Structure 1
Amino acid sequence: MADELVFCAKCGETKPRDAFYNQLHTTQPRRPCKTCLSTYKRARYAKKDGDRVSHAQVLREKYNLTPAEYDRMLTNQQGLCAICGKAETARGRGGAPKRLAVDHDHRNGLVRQLLCHRCNLVTWAVEENPSLLDAVRAYLERHTPRGV
């Protein structure tokens, strides 16, 4: 494993495994690489107090998407989550519904579809540990009253 190579979608380079931080609760490397993550954090820290990162900036930096591409995805999904088929119910600080999350493969950074907050969390957890889905199903079956 010491000579494992990992691709960083941010800088487009393939680097040794030790150029990446570890993700919590998994052996998978955290992306982007340490260098890209450090550069990103320095730039965010350098912003003046009160400056907020725009939606367009997050789309561009994190997912390599333009706002128009996001809007096109949203229109194609009729404004609904690609998994549960419902509108976002999670609320932001101001009380308005959050935008649908951009779901992406954490290994290679490729964008998949837009998901509600709940489905995005479940997808992330199952992607990191596929057997978790079976464990959750078994748990719910154990705690469902008979005849319901």
Structure 2
Amino acid sequence: MIRRGIVECRGCGKYKPLSEYSPIGASGAPRPYCKPCNAERVRLGHYSVTKDFVDLLLRFQQGKCAICGVSNTAQRAMDIDHDHACCPGRRSCGKCVRGLVCSSCNFHGLGWYEALPAELRTLGLLNAYLSDPPARRLRRELT
């Protein structure tokens, strides 16, 4: 609902100025979600997971990166890691989501490590994460 340039976000329920919303196409009408909530919806949709699942996974991981164990103290959300070999397109099926990792582990660790030939993948910490990731363990507990 719009009142005097203030809009209620369907995601967070907060009333924010129009500048906090992206316009929809040529009409210029604001999206129903503020920019941060819309970005989170797009991110979750990309990985085919719900906010509830990500929140549960973060609690399961005790608020820490699934690889290095650093606590998520930054304002930025942890990266959602998934097995790129599972889904050929740009989106994930959701079943291949492995865990929540910090951006350093995601970009500088996993990407590099998974590109190595199998005989060079000798890091126990990363092998343990890849062989039985937190999301898989969580799903086993939920069933």
TM-score tier after normalising by the smaller chain length: 0.3 to 0.5
TM-score (norm 2): 0.48
TM-score, length-scaled by structure 1: 0.46
